[in-house]
Structure 1
Amino acid sequence: MKISGIRIEHFSTNLDPPFRAAWDPEPRRSFSATLVLVETDEGLAGVGAGDAMVGFSESGFERHFVGEDPLRIARHVRVIETLDFHAGRYWPLEAALWDLFGKVANLPVAKLFGGVAERIPAYASCGELKGPEERAESAVRLKEEGFRAMKIRIDPRCAQEGIAAVAAAREAVGDGMEIMVDLNQAWRMAGDSTPSVDPLTVVGIARRLRELDVFWLEEPLPLTDTRGLAKLSRKSGLRLAGGEMARTTEDLLACLEADALDVYQPDVVLSLGMLRARTFAETVLRKNRLFTPHTWTDGVGLLANLHVTCGVGGGPYLEFPYDPPGWTPERRDFMLEEPVRVDPEGYLNVPDAPGLGVRLGEEYRRVLGL
């Protein structure tokens, strides 16, 4: 079997009303998804998604893969890493290769990655900044829907309002849910030059969140500030989480060596890729730390992260982007036949189908020629 072609197709859906992501200064009035199709000379194909794959086709990077055995994934990962250095994050291509590998083996990718678990509890990852009353109401709804945990965004420059929202949510659900908090301080949207809040201010925020029994504090400082993160961990008594957009495994190993994080979150379609994330996850778990990836792309990216996490036995929760009405499975997974959903017990289940279990909608299958 040989790779006969790589197709990249861009799709978009309108968002009305807009989604006001806490980390984006601009309201999102549309949502884009890029599908990557790896075709073979034997008719099998794999599908991936996540990053926008900007410049891949324009640069003729297909030439590094066409004609090669698609199952030589370690070889392909090394090539993608050279492209990542010069151009963009092309990890959706690796996801498509694993989808294809699973179809050849007639197994879900999670089993190829170790098969430790077949499902994992999800945490509802809220994306918008909301006031105390509204966030408390949403926490109650999420608990009723079966979620065992939720994540709340705080703008550290308006910390009092954010802490009040966390306090209201905690009062509303009691100890029946875990609550995580995200400060979104590790990276910025293009053009957003807002500086990070200083470490001393974050220490004050963290101490108040500890009183509210927060399960982890995410991206409290830039990832490069490993000494600051380690110091914050000691002073706050909270688990610290981060690494969702780390460029290389070495970036995260530096955090591990400095004992800067307790929860490691590389998104396998944006950061490291599936193979490297699996290797890193094994190291993290051996060090008695948590591995639970970021999943804020689309349904295909969510599935890729689900397979890796269940394959290695990560957790204890997996991120499920969900903050209705602004962010829903229907909006996130518009390219799928059915959105990825959490079951009534609050779990994300690994699909039984071979590969990643991606089921594209008819319109998108037609465009891709499937």
Structure 2
Amino acid sequence: MKITDITLDRLRLELNPPFHAAWDPEPRRHFDATIVRVHTDEGITGIGSGDLMDGFETYRHLFVGEDPLQINRHVRAIETANFHGAYYWPLEAALWDIIGKAHGRPVSELFGNATRKLPAYASSGELKSPAERVAMALKAREAGFRALKIRIDRDRIDEGVAAVRAVREELGSGFEIMVDLNQSWRMAGDTAHASDLAKTRKTIARLAELDVFWVEEPLPYSDLDGFKTLRAENPGVRIAAGEMHHSPTELLRHLEKDTLDIYQMDVVLAIGMHRARTLAELAQLKNRQFTPHSWTNGIGVLANLHVAAGVGGGPFFEFPYDPPGWTPERRDFMLAEPVRVNSDGDLEVPDKPGLGIELDEDAIDRWRIK
């Protein structure tokens, strides 16, 4: 089998009303997605998405004419291209889609087949008042979710803690709550300093009293000693991070220094499926957990799900969900059907070969950037 072509569909869905993501300096008025298709001479086409693939045309020749099944070679080639361009991990997802289709099996089976479903947590995206967050949490529980992640702004700690307290009081101890402080990386244009260790220690101590399941991205990735301090001082709270960490060797340093309870590498935005599997298995050998970041479109959600289900990730899987601003319909506008959790709040691995992606070609034609 040979790769005959790699094509990109660049899409833009206008968001009206805009989505006020907690990590964005400005409201998000459109949602961009790039669909990668890897075509082969045997009629199998692989599909991937995640990073926007800016500048990939320069590197297409590194892959066209090659055997798509030689995944180790392609991962190394993608890493060399990443060094000079963007992050081209959606191409790896498309290659794994081909491998699964060629063998007639879901990709998760090729990654270990540890489970066919994972309990999902509703991953909120906006900053909301305590009353608004309680209303959303009740809707999430009604939809089947057993856990919710709440964002807290570094400059509005009291309001954020109040939202967590309100949800805990309303939904009780049987509903898990995670908190994301969004301090490990920055969107373009956000030049503010991260919260320092002293402030973060106080915040996590307050959250520990509310029995949060984990606190995510509390410090910049480089502050390994700070992460260790937070873990040591708060034994009842798990510390999670790593979602946008692009360096396997730096993640290995986190593993070696035992800085985290939960590793969250995103396979289509940050580090790729192959490398994420390796790091996830190393984390599990240290009795630590892997539950990937998946704040992307439905294709990226599925790619992360296949790796997590393959290696036995958990204890929960991230499901971007914060209605009315962020819904499966908005997130998955390029798919024939949005990816959804079942009535028990589990996200099931599609039983189709490959990643199980079904595109809506009419939607792609409608939203393609001309």
Aligned to 1:275: 274
Q: Does 1:168 align with 2:171?
A: no
Q: Distance in 1 between matches of 2:62 and 2:96?
A: 17
Tell me the SS of whatever aligns to 1:66: coil
Tell me the SS of whatever aligns to 2:4: strand
Q: Distance in 1 between matches of 2:140 and 2:82?
A: 38
Q: Does 1:3 align with 2:3?
A: yes
Aligned to 1:184: 182
* Count of aligned pairs between the two proteins: 366
Q: How does 1:14-93 map to 2 (within 5 A)?
A: 14-57=14-57, 59=58, 61-93=59-91
Q: How does 1:66-145 map to 2 (within 5 A)?
A: 66-145=64-143
Aligned to 2:299: 300
Q: Distance in 2 between matches of 1:230 and 1:256?
A: 11
Aligned to 2:221: 223
What amino acid is the match of 2:72?
A
Q: Distance in 2 between matches of 1:258 and 1:344?
A: 40
Q: Is contact 2:38–2:95 with CA below 8 Å preserved after alignment?
A: yes
TM-superposed CA distance for 1:236, in Å, is 2.5
Q: Distance in 2 between matches of 1:70 and 1:366?
A: 27
Q: Is contact 1:139–1:172 with CA below 8 Å preserved after alignment?
A: no
Cα deviations by residue, 1:182-236 (Å, 9 ceiling, x for unpaired)? 0000111111101101100000000010000000000000011001111111112
Cα deviations by residue, 1:300-351 (Å, 9 ceiling, x for unpaired)? 0000000000000010110000000000000000000000000000000000
Q: Is contact 1:37–1:45 with CA below 8 Å preserved after alignment?
A: yes
Aligned to 1:316: 315
TM-superposed CA distance for 1:272, in Å, is 1.4
Aligned to 1:243: 242
Tell me the SS of whatever aligns to 1:257: helix
What amino acid is the match of 1:191?
G
TM-superposed CA distance for 1:138, in Å, is 1.2
Q: Distance in 1 between matches of 2:336 and 2:259?
A: 41
Q: Is contact 2:11–2:364 with CA below 8 Å preserved after alignment?
A: no
Q: Distance in 1 between matches of 2:104 and 2:295?
A: 28
Q: Is contact 1:249–1:272 with CA below 8 Å preserved after alignment?
A: yes
Tell me the SS of whatever aligns to 2:177: strand
TM-score computed with the length of structure 1 as normaliser: 0.97
Q: Distance in 2 between matches of 1:100 and 1:363?
A: 23
Q: Is contact 2:25–2:189 with CA below 8 Å preserved after alignment?
A: no
Q: Is contact 1:262–1:289 with CA below 8 Å preserved after alignment?
A: yes
TM-superposed CA distance for 1:141, in Å, is 1.6
> RMSD of the alignment, in Å?
1.2
What amino acid is the match of 1:218?
E
Q: Distance in 1 between matches of 2:155 and 2:252?
A: 30
Tell me the SS of whatever aligns to 2:191: coil
Q: Distance in 2 between matches of 1:207 and 1:322?
A: 27
Aligned to 1:201: 199
Q: Distance in 2 between matches of 1:366 and 1:333?
A: 15
Cα deviations by residue, 1:99-158 (Å, 9 ceiling, x for unpaired)? 011100000000011101000000000000001111111112211211011100001221
Tell me the SS of whatever aligns to 1:93: helix
Unaligned runs of 5+ in 2: none
TM-superposed CA distance for 1:365, in Å, is 6.8
TM-score computed with the length of structure 2 as normaliser: 0.97
Q: Percent sequence identity over matched residues?
A: 58
What amino acid is the match of 1:96?
A
Q: Distance in 2 between matches of 1:366 and 1:325?
A: 25
Q: Is contact 1:293–1:319 with CA below 8 Å preserved after alignment?
A: yes
Further displaced range: 210-219 or 245-254: 245-254
Tell me the SS of whatever aligns to 2:156: helix
Aligned to 2:344: 345
Q: Distance in 2 between matches of 1:220 and 1:365?
A: 37
Q: Is contact 2:333–2:363 with CA below 8 Å preserved after alignment?
A: no
Q: Is contact 1:293–1:318 with CA below 8 Å preserved after alignment?
A: yes
1:337 to 1:292, Cα distance in 2 relative to 1, 3 A: same
